Amino acid sequence: MMLQVLHGTSGRGALRVANLLCSVSAYGQAKKRLPLAVFQRLFFELACRASVARAGAPEAVGRWKGHRVMLMDGSWLSMPDTPPLQRVFGQPAGMKRGCGFPAMHLLGLFDQATGMIVDLIDSRCHTHDLRHASKLHSMLEEGDVLLGDRGFCSFAHLALLLRGNLHGLFALHQKQRVDFRPHRGHQKRWPKSRRQGRPTSIFVRRLGRHDQLVRYVKPKQRPAWMSREAFAQLPATITVRELRHTLNRPGFRAKQITLVTTLLDPRQYPQGDLAELYGSRWEVETRLLELKRTLGAAVLRSTSPQGVRKELWTYLLIYNLIRLLMVRQAYDRGIDPRRLSFIDARDLLRYHRISGGGGSSAPPILLNPIRGGRAEPRVIKRRKDRYRYMTRPRQQLRQELGITRLAA
């Protein structure tokens, strides 16, 4: 199964690569018998090996001001349109029944320094990222910094991070009002007729221009993803830091970002350093692109819920195996693992025999230049076929064309 994913081939092609003399049907039956726990055990075994490789590197390598940095983001994968997959995962809104495909929601936790996937949770396609975010906190260590988009910026999530001695850095949620005027009031201090547009946070202290400590008050309404018992244990208020920074890049318009963080010390964590760290959050998009496009996990092929989960974890195994090879080589060569080419490392696993060490004994992986600040338009040059899209179920289209089962 790992060879099939690594080479991006079919089941018959995987048997040829592995030089196995059996039928494709026997291969499929063997995959059904293999427990999902085997894939998960191997996955975490690779994570342990990555930790050993990272322990041999200097302490400052892969850390930001002494903290490990973790990236969290959600995504989704497509799969065949079968009744079992529709029941378990559902399909995105706006698609008619019989015309769309089921989708699996993913919530992944990535190590920024190595690019490896620490853990991943799959669920129905209409699942919010925050629903399972707290489950991944167990994979973090005290002092870790979690980076995420504005979807993770909520009172409950920040309170859970603080309770676990963890740190968070998120973009301010679009519904959260912010006001950097010193000693400004909050909603409760204004009459109801004048509360609209006022911040709900309580001003605590000014740290600098567009940099302040505020107190968030526990909302009255419990989040849908949180149990009543867990919500009752949250504190009444939490103290966080709000800051706004202007990004100036040559050739681009100045862009302002407003961030919320639990890193409160302005001397140890300057405003510009926090903004630069949050800018690296986009690396998680590249990691997901490598998993979904480079390896081909964007569209799974199995037709059963258990089958697609096994297929997904096979992709995760190959992804982390490639990353582990990159980490070992990077530390042997004294460079940042993120500088190495993921595609070249994949091809190295495809076509070269690598010893158990996987470091200096393997051919050197291509070193990519530093290409920060790139921006490309989101357009496709290659035109697609001009066939119409399916807007009605296939059976209905067959009846309209007069195609019968006998004629087919």
pLDDT tens digit sequence for 94-146: 788 888 899 999 999 999 999 999 999 999 999 999 999 999 999 999 999 99
The pLDDT confidence band at residue 408, using thresholds 50, 70 and 90, is very low
Domain C-terminal end among 351, 367, 395? 351
Q: Based on the domain organization, do 152 and 170 belong to the same domain? A: yes
Instruction: Give a yes or no: residue 362 inside a domain.
Output: no
Query: Is 360 domain-assigned?
Result: no
Within-domain flag for 259: yes
Same domain for 118 and 7: no
Same domain, residue pair 218 and 252: yes
Report how far residue 354's alpha carbon sits from residue 327's, in angstroms, rounded to the nearest whole number.
Answer: 15
Q: Which of 190-194, 205-209, 224-228, 367-371 has the lowest mean pLDDT?
A: 190-194
What is the domain-level CATH number for residue 109? 3.90.350
Q: Is 70 part of a structural domain of the chain? A: yes
Say whether pLDDT at 90 is over 70: yes
Inside any domain, residue 25 = yes
The pLDDT > 90 percentage for the chain reads 61
pLDDT on residue 354? 65
How many separate domains does the chain show?
A: 2
Domain that holds residue 97: 34-351
Q: Please state, for a pLDDT cut of 70, what percent of the chain lies above it.
A: 89
Burial per residue of 235-260, b for 16 or more beta-carbon CB atoms within 10 angstroms, e otherwise? eeebbbbbbbbebeeeeeeeeeebbb
Regarding whether 329 and 282 lie in a shared domain, the answer is yes
The reply to whether 18 and 121 lie within a common domain is no
- Check whether residue 18 and residue 68 sit in a common domain: no
In a domain, 184, yes or no: yes
**Are residues 238 and 324 located together in one domain of the fold?**
yes
182 and 110 housed in the same domain: yes
pLDDT band at 358 (very low <50, low <70, confident <90, very high): low
Domain-located, residue 380 = no
My answer on whether 151 and 239 are in the same domain is yes
Residues 134, 14 share a domain:
no
Same domain, 75 and 145: yes
> How high is the pLDDT of residue 245?
84
Q: What is the pLDDT of residue 36?
A: 94
Instruction: Based on the fold, state whether residues 27 and 147 are members of the same structural domain.
Output: no
Give a yes or no: residue 374 inside a domain: no
